[in-house]
């Protein structure tokens, strides 16, 4: 938890004043000074007089989470629907040989990995509304083009540009969500957002089973209609979302000035100042990578990407070996995704309730390993193999949002969070390249090392003097590296 030592009262200065936050330089703020019984939240920040913390956060939830969930659902759907298309004849129609299908999956990750950090920098420069809706429109167009390709080269080209325009979706949305919520309330929001992937998997299977019946319409095979119709849907939604995607708290015109000040103050009390007003520089990027915990964050995500993408890309192919028709295969791919969503939300609520992350990364990882053990050892019982797929999906897609939320919310300030989040997702997605060539079990000690690192840093800071002569500006620039900051374990 972020802790500030109370010091003797001083008059507020222009540089240090933060409206709404009771601290050593600003302990007088009240949105309504005539209010007899002002309401304080758990961080002792005064709530605006016309609302309560619960009501305001519900208002924010309804404006922030649903739109980002739909955005990422469509992004993930356009990314993995190639697995559904494969069941309807894509490989045969394009005469793909040997590992050409796998290579088409792989090339998506090249621009996706490279452009993660630049995309988050541009997100802050242009605003989420412009950047996210623009990228969304473009990868919808590319998805339509993917349904019109005539050969292997065309498939490679469209997959490359799909990766380019989708690069900023996941880290950008995680970065944006992290700038709205306290650490103790963030996991269930992150997991609900991340569960867009499980909903996309379930929705994609159902949609593909219906679209696949259009096989032969207007001379197009079913797999082409999957890409075309889902791409058109994405582009139309992107045009609408230009007006609805939320911005950062500082620029949210759908909140009153008092509400914006309160949201900013409660986040400062929890995580420190954000330095949202300053542009991100190359020096900021370089400073982030001096912290070894940031490097560990990438390896944590890498460890889960391999099984997660392995499942997303190859589950329909595995299910098809059970003897079902292409349509039945799509329908049977839905239940594991649905169970993954439910399990992820249970893990998220438990994690927020206990205000702890580490153990809730280990539990779902153990579930995923159990699923892989079944798939590796059982080859003659389709029911047991199918149960193994449930465990893999439930474990992988429950652990990933906890890992990303844990790391992201331990980064203080716009600059460290923007760069750090993009790094974690970008580096972690190198695992996607591995997943395109092998559906294998993966295990990594990175979560344990990161857990030890944040515990060690907190202990070291507890034993060190807090008042080391740093100004508020210097603490803001340090972000979570400030001696006042405490990480969430």
Distance separating alpha carbons of residues 426 and 110, to the nearest angstrom = 10
Contacts 24+ apart (CB under 8 A), 19-28: 19/261, 19/264, 19/265, 20/45, 20/46, 20/258, 20/261, 20/262, 20/264, 20/265, 20/266, 21/45, 21/264, 21/265, 21/266, 21/268, 21/269, 22/46, 23/269, 25/472
Residue matched to tokens 């963030």: 186
More confident residue, 331 or 235: 235
pLDDT at 150: 93
Instruction: At 102, list the tokens.
Output: 């796998």
Handedness of CA 107, 67, 204, 425 (dihedral sign): positive
Position 229 pLDDT exceeds 80: yes
More confident residue, 478 or 353: 353
- pLDDT tens for each residue of 184-224: 787 888 888 888 778 777 777 788 778 877 877 887 888 89
Q: What is the mean pLDDT of residues 75-89?
A: 85
Position 146 pLDDT exceeds 50: yes
Position 30 pLDDT exceeds 70: no
pLDDT at 357: 86
> Do 193 and 353 form a contact (C-beta atoms < 8 A)?
no
- pLDDT tens for each residue of 389-418: 999 999 999 998 888 888 877 777 667 777
pLDDT at 134: 93
Position 36 pLDDT exceeds 80: no
Superfamily of domain 62-481: MFS general substrate transporter like domains (1.20.1250.20)
Q: How confident is the model at residue 26 (pLDDT cuts 50, 70, 90)?
A: very low
Please state at what angle helix 446-462 crosses helix 359-377, rounded to 10 degrees: 170
More confident residue, 320 or 151: 151
What is the CA angle 327-332-334, rounded to 5?
105
* Percentage with pLDDT > 70 across the chain: 80
The model's pTM is 0.67
Distance separating alpha carbons of residues 117 and 425, to the nearest angstrom = 9
More confident residue, 162 or 268: 162
pLDDT at 190: 83
Q: How confident is the model at residue 312 (pLDDT cuts 50, 70, 90)?
A: confident
- Nearest to 441, CA basis, from 394, 356, 374: 374
pLDDT at 271: 62
- pLDDT tens for each residue of 148-163: 999 999 999 999 999 9
Main-chain phi, psi angles of 364, to 5 degrees: -65, -30
How high does pLDDT run on average in the chain?
Answer: 79
């Amino acid at each position: 938890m972020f802790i500030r030592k109370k010091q003797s009262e001083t008059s507020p200065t222009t540089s240090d004043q933060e409206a709404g936050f009771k601290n050593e330089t600003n302990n007088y703020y009240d949105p309504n000074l005539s209010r007899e019984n002002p309401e304080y939240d758990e961080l002792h920040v005064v709530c605006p007089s016309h609302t309560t913390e619960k009501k305001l956060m519900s208002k924010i939830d309804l404006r922030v989470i649903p739109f980002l969930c739909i955005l990422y659902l469509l992004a993930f759907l356009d990314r993995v629907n190639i697995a559904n298309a494969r069941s309807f004849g894509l490989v045969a129609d394009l005469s793909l040989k040997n590992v050409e299908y796998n290579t088409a999956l792989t090339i998506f990750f090249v621009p996706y990995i490279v452009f993660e950090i630049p995309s988050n920098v541009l997100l802050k420069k242009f605003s989420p509304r412009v950047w996210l809706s623009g990228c969304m429109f473009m990868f919808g167009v590319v998805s339509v083009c993917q349904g019109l390709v005539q050969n292997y080269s065309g498939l490679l080209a469209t997959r490359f540009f799909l990766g380019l325009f989708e690069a900023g979706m996941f880290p950008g949305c995680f970065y944006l969500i992290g700038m709205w919520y306290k650490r103790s309330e963030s996991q269930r929001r992150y997991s609900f957002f991340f569960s867009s992937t499980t909903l996309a998997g379930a929705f994609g299977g159902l949609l593909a089973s219906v679209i696949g019946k259009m096989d032969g319409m207007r001379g197009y095979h079913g797999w082409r209609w999957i890409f075309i119709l889902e791409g058109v849907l994405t582009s139309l939604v992107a045009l609408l979302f230009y007006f609805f995607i939320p911005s950062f708290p500082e620029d949210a015109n759908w909140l009153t000035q008092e509400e914006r000040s309160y949201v900013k103050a409660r986040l400062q009390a929890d995580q420190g100042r954000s330095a949202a007003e300053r542009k991100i520089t190359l020096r900021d990027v370089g400073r982030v990578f001096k912290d070894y915990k940031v490097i560990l964050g990438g390896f944590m995500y890498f460890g889960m990407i391999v099984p997660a993408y392995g499942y997303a890309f190859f589950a329909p192919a595995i299910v098809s070996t059970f003897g079902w028709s292409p349509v039945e295969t799509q329908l049977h791919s839905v239940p594991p995704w649905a169970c993954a969503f439910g399990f992820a939300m249970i893990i998220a609520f438990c994690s927020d309730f206990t205000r702890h992350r580490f153990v809730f990364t280990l539990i779902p990882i153990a579930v995923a390993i159990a699923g892989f053990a079944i798939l590796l050892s059982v080859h003659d019982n389709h029911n047991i193999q199918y149960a193994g797929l449930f465990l893999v999906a439930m474990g992988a897609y429950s652990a990933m949002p906890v890992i990303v939320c844990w790391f992201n919310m331990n980064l203080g300030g716009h600059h460290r969070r923007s760069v750090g989040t993009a790094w974690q997702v970008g580096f972690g997605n190198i695992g996607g390249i591995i997943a395109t060539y092998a559906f294998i079990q993966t295990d990594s000690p990175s979560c344990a090392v990161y857990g030890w690192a944040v515990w060690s840093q907190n202990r070291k800071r507890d034993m060190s003097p807090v008042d080391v002569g740093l100004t508020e500006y210097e603490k803001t620039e340090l972000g979570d590296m400030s001696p006042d900051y405490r990480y969430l374990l």
